[in-house]
A and B are shown apart, each in its own frame.
Chain A
């Protein structure tokens, strides 16, 4: 699933990886693909976690984890960082999700009744990145579909998501349906249909058992 998300990244792109699961996509990047990672707290050219010797308390990512800066990296203030996002200079954002609707609406920042954490940069990223891929489980812990016809949770941004990657496959946002463009290995189409809360189309490649 994370490997599939990593395959979304084209050589040379500027990419922002959301906090949580999407952060792990960094582990599967092709080192020769010349991908530049953007961290919204003000770092472009983010490198891997530091070794014990390299740790610097004041070089962190947006998840407040210690990181490194690669050769060619730059550091800037928060307004410029979000100018990059809002201005369409970030090619791709891979974000976590709580719900995605087939019209591209994304909910990923709060669940009513649960302790509020704040949206951080999620709304700006969802609305501003050129392309938004959502990396999430197909259903919630209590079995509710997370690919839905209409959001039931408070939205992060409307019509922003292009693609959803789950443990069951890859799904494009199709307006009034999701389009399954790839199934995970060994997953049957009925399993996907049952777990999805929205109309679903299968391509020729994915329509078989």
Chain B
């Protein structure tokens, strides 16, 4: 640690420091984001650089289009992925087909609720999603109020890496637009949660009423001001136009 830290202070000077001592082979990592939107980009880069391997990644998409968590796949650091959607992620498809990575596909709402349950101390829940499908294999099915439901178990991880827009020094968080997605629930469901915030502010800056996620869920904070914020499908309408324009499938990136 390059700087004396006040006891109990959660703020780290850099992302490598914020992850120091947390990474080990065979661990499970939750990573916020919907595709490449709302990723803890610097944390992912640092995990890639660390060379830690045999990881279980719990994330909706596990990266996309060769970017984000897909970099960990390219480096052969991932053994298992729990996610809801792998379309647009050729790295995952390739490694899955080659038998190098195990994939557990979970319906997105069940995925979210399992994470919520993991953070909320709920031992399981019954949901109609997935009844009669491949998702039901090996699970208890119970008819409740006339509707068949599956018993789903909670999800937790050793580490969650979370992207926030604003963090105060206690770890109270605010998120930005649809970059919120899985970030706040994942922050509740890991043994250690590291937050990568676009902006770090003093305590008291965020009004208590405006806190999206209370800071008690957050163990470590690092401010990262520059992000790539990759757009996967850049879709626009003409100026003054009402109608949606043809989807232009182009990517932009600031590297």
Contacts and interface: CB of A to CB of B under 8 A. Distances in A.
B129 A127 contact: yes
B131 A79 contact: no
Interface in B51-103: 60, 64, 83-88, 93, 96-97, 103
A191 interface: no
Contacts of B239: 51-53
A174 interface: no
Interface string B124-150: 000111111111000000000000000
A52 B231 CA distance: 13
B107 interface: yes
Interface stretch (A152-160, A181-189, A193-201): A152-160
Secondary structure type dominating chain B contacts: loop
Contacts of B128: 86, 127-128
Contact of A119 (B64, B93, B108): B108
Interface string A34-67: 0000011111000011111101111110111111
Interface in B105-126: 105, 107-113, 115-116
A166 interface: no
A61 to B, nearest CB: 8
A65 B234 CA distance: 6
B181 A158 contact: no
How many chain B residues sit at the interface, stated as a range, is 35 or more
Contact of A115 (B34, B93, B185, B229): B93
A123 B178 contact: no
A51 B134 contact: no
B28 interface: no
Residue of B36, B97, B184, B241 ringed by the most chain A CB atoms within 10 A = B184
B235 interface: yes
A143 interface: no
B108 A121 contact: yes
B177 A48 contact: no
A192 interface: no
A161 to B, nearest CB: 13
A89 to B, nearest CB: 13
Nearest to A151: B132
A78 interface: yes
B109 A86 contact: yes
Given A52-B236, A63-B233, A119-B84, 6 more contacts: A40-B109, A42-B181, A66-B233, A79-B112, A79-B113, A82-B109
Interface of B: 34-38, 60, 64, 83-88, 93, 96-97, 103, 105, 107-113, 115-116, 127-135, 175-185, 229-239, 241-245, 247
